[in-house]
A = this chain, B = another copy of it.
């Protein structure tokens, strides 16, 4: 359930969001987007949790793989629908993972 990422450095995209209520179709889209992301070059792993807010962290080999995923055409459609239908607000932070520890 926790992502088994390689030795740093690599990149993390921290996506935090508040959903509209209702957010019909959101879960199906999220499942589909995760499947698509897993097939992208440079994808390293994914962790997600939601209660009052949602936090999804995807891990990537480098910035080029993040940008390619951002520009994926099916992902673009989901991003647009996210803004019009699903998200009340969100933040995306792109960060370079420099060190980690596992227990």
A21 CB, nearest partner CB in chain B, Å: 14
Among A2, A17, A98, chain B packs the most CB atoms within 10 A around the CB of A2
The tally of residues in A whose CB lies under 8 Å from a CB in B reads 37
Bound Cα distance from A93 to B9, whole angstroms: 10
Question: Residues of B contacting A14 with CB < 8 Å?
Answer: 12, 14, 57, 97
If A14-B12, A16-B47 touch, whether A98 touches B90 (CB-CB below 8 Å) is: no
- CB atoms of B103 and A83 under 8 A apart: yes
Least distance between A8 CB and chain B CB atoms (Å): 8
CB contacts (< 8 Å) of A36 on chain B: these are none
- Nearest CB on B from A64, distance (A): 14
